Structure 1
Amino acid sequence: MEAPTGQSASHEPNGPPDTAELKATLKRLRTEPRGWVFTLKVGLCAVLTATGVALALQPALWSRIVGVVLTGAMFAHAAELQHETLHNLAYRRRRANTVCGVVLGMPMLISFAAYRATHMRHHRDLGTPQNREFFDYGDQYGTRGDRSRLAAGFDWAARFTMVHHYGLFAANLWRSLRRRDFAGENARVSRRIRRDHLLTAGAVLALALLSWWTGTAVVLWAWLLPLVLVAAPVHAAIELPEHYGCETLNRDPFANTRTIRSNRFATWFTNGNNYHVEHHLMPNLPIERLPDLHREVRGRIRYFHRGYIEYFGKLVHK
């Protein structure tokens, strides 16, 4: 992985002037969301999730292992699909994006409203000290270079277990049960965050009651194990390359974000998240148009890899 080549103190709200001019010339790439395309994505995710759950509930150990892996992978994929709804790019109607986004986030305990509010601020503030992200991985961008190996090990463990995320969900659920507003959010957004947490808690409770009623471990094999053992580390791995080791105090998206031009499977599985420079350059561009944008701006990208294997190989050997 490339080390940062320096950090700029520039904090222009729209990035360097040439970047703003480039974006103006690329407006021609914008198209309306195609809801039927996203519906097919969600349908495939649902079928694969159901297949994984069915395998995980079989008595054979091999079937359970395959089922847990497939189910967990689809939980992580659903979180990437949810990202598309945050930007209202899945459907033309905002309500459709919200309903679908709430459901897609449930398996990984992701509040659509909380994620959306934080994510929009991330797009606004990236490149400034005010930047914060929804998922807290500890050493978010790899800036703690003076950490001991033990401390760094704890950082990586926190990242790939997503322990901070579970703690945040529990704290926010408790706040929701007490009907409290959330710091930094207005009353309307706070109501929506409470809605998401209560709906998700209700779904988990229903699954737990089903396990009790049937005398089986449905909640364990169909949700808890896929979440903790597969979805969390896979999701963390998808998110890691986005800005890690980039120039995160530089407003230029070509410097503060990374793109990975991978194969069709990885692009599908991450729902285009590999084209992350392109997404930050034009966040309102439909996901399926990101490869087109990539062809226009490839030569400007400072942090670029030809695949996830190449990226993680360099990261491990750094």
Structure 2
Amino acid sequence: MNTDNDAAGVLFARARVSPRDERVFLLKLAVALLICFLGGFLALNDGWVAVLLGELLLAAIYTHMVELQHQCLHHSAFRRSATHRPVGFLLGLPLLSAYSHYRVQHLQHHKYLGTPDDSEFFGFDSRAPLTWGALLRGTFSPARLGQVGVDIVKSCRGSWAYTMGQIAERAKRQVIAEYRLFAVFVLAAAGLTATGHGHAVLVLWVVPLLLSIPMHFLLELPEHVLCDNDSTDVLRNTRTISGSRFSQWFTNGNNFHVEHHAAMVVPINRLSERHPLAKEWATHTEESYLTFYRKVLQEASRNSRRRT
């Protein structure tokens, strides 16, 4: 009996969404909604400490909701596939993350990981040398929001086109429809501002949206950076992080990224079961996010010194 092959089979095995998996995801949605209400209540408070805490909570939970949206992309949250798009769209709305566009490009990322055709939706090139400049640009750059604005305008004009490969006509229509809904959302926010509700728009959406840019970048960074990006072997080109219970919840299991790429349709709440195998087999493993970020800072310092 080949135990190595048996272990690899478990790591790469598929799994269907069970009623329990669906209940776990619904609980995550309920918790996210409660935190949204709490953050909003604090953000609309008069005291600056409460406002600051509310802004940070909203930015953090909007970022967490994009990770929940990520699970919807893979149709691993609900037993009915049709449920994923409307829920995924709403989860991405605060950060203007278009579900159907994200899905097309993210599934392409899974297909082409480790090849020149790989391109992730949020635009950071994990294969480029890691320097202080690259880190700062990625952490604070509003470029993605600018691109969303371009996509909204092109969709409203009917000229939007997918530039990263092939896209089915139905998926293209869905992308355009979602960006047009974003236009309605932005116009509604502008209308509220014009009618005297600008403060609420600012603290409940605009400020958290801007704060989420560095949060989301730092959350996504560990996935493939400083891995063997010229390899198509998921055990070499992807990182897994044990993390704390809090980081596992906040990232919605994104810390188990080797496990996710090994079997992307497996409900994310089940990936922890495969983590011991991933730690044994994968090249790039970390115990915590802190140890990963320490390595990133060391690598950026080395590369920046070489360039001076």
Over residues 130-165 of structure 1, what are the superposed CA-to-partner deviations in whole Å (9 max), with x where a residue is unaligned? 11111112xx215236xxxxxx44422331124221
Q: What is the rounded CA distance, in whole Å, between the counterparts of 1:221 and 1:215 in structure 2? A: 11
The alpha carbon displacement at 1:257 in A equals: 0.2
Which residue matches 2:295?
Answer: 314
Q: What is the rounded CA distance, in whole Å, between the counterparts of 1:32 and 1:162 in structure 2? A: 37
Seq. identity, %: 32
The answer to whether the 8 A contact 1:246-1:256 is kept is yes
Of residues 162, 166, 170, the one that matches 1:188 is: 170
Matches within 5 A, 1:134-173: 134-137=121-124, 140-144=125-129, 152-173=131-152
Moved over 3 A (4+): 18-29
Matches within 5 A, 1:158-237: 158-183=137-162, 184-229=166-211, 231-237=212-218
The answer to whether the 8 A contact 2:11-2:278 is kept is no
Of residues 77, 86, 89, the one that matches 2:64 is: 77
Q: What is the rounded CA distance, in whole Å, between the counterparts of 2:248 and 2:137 in structure 1? A: 26
20 and 222 in structure 1: CA distance in 2 versus 1, 3 angstrom threshold: farther
The code of the aligned residue for 1:205 comes to L
The answer to whether the 8 A contact 2:259-2:271 is kept is yes
The alpha carbon displacement at 1:232 in A equals: 1.2
198 and 40 in structure 1: CA distance in 2 versus 1, 3 angstrom threshold: same
The alpha carbon displacement at 1:256 in A equals: 0.1
**Gaps spanning 5+ residues in structure 2: where?**
300-308
20 and 185 in structure 1: CA distance in 2 versus 1, 3 angstrom threshold: farther
Which residue matches 1:298?
Answer: 279
Of residues 17, 26, 30, the one that matches 1:39 is: 26
100 and 302 in structure 1: CA distance in 2 versus 1, 3 angstrom threshold: same
SS in 2 for 1:211: helix
Of residues 28, 36, 45, the one that matches 1:49 is: 36
RMSD: 2.1
Matches within 5 A, 1:65-104: 65-104=52-91
The alpha carbon displacement at 1:315 in A equals: 1.7
The code of the aligned residue for 1:143 comes to A
Of residues 113, 116, 132, the one that matches 2:103 is: 116
Over residues 250-290 of structure 1, what are the superposed CA-to-partner deviations in whole Å (9 max), with x where a residue is unaligned? 01111000011001010000000000011001111110111
Q: Does 2:234 correspond to 1:249?
A: no
Q: Does 2:48 correspond to 1:64?
A: no
The code of the aligned residue for 1:220 comes to L
**67-76 or 209-218: which moved more?**
209-218
The alpha carbon displacement at 1:62 in A equals: 1.1
**274-283 or 184-193: which moved more?**
184-193
The answer to whether the 8 A contact 2:155-2:176 is kept is yes
SS in 1 for 2:94: helix
Q: How many residues align?
A: 292
**286-295 or 158-167: which moved more?**
158-167
Q: What is the rounded CA distance, in whole Å, between the counterparts of 2:141 and 2:97 in structure 1? A: 12
Q: What is the rounded CA distance, in whole Å, between the counterparts of 2:12 and 2:138 in structure 1? A: 36
The alpha carbon displacement at 1:53 in A equals: 1.2
The alpha carbon displacement at 1:112 in A equals: 0.3
**Gaps spanning 5+ residues in structure 1: where?**
1-17, 146-151
The answer to whether the 8 A contact 1:84-1:90 is kept is yes
**153-162 or 304-313: which moved more?**
153-162
158 and 53 in structure 1: CA distance in 2 versus 1, 3 angstrom threshold: same
The alpha carbon displacement at 1:121 in A equals: 0.6
Q: Does 2:260 correspond to 1:279?
A: yes
SS in 2 for 1:108: coil
The answer to whether the 8 A contact 1:162-1:236 is kept is no
TM-score, L = length of structure 1: 0.86
**31-40 or 19-28: which moved more?**
19-28
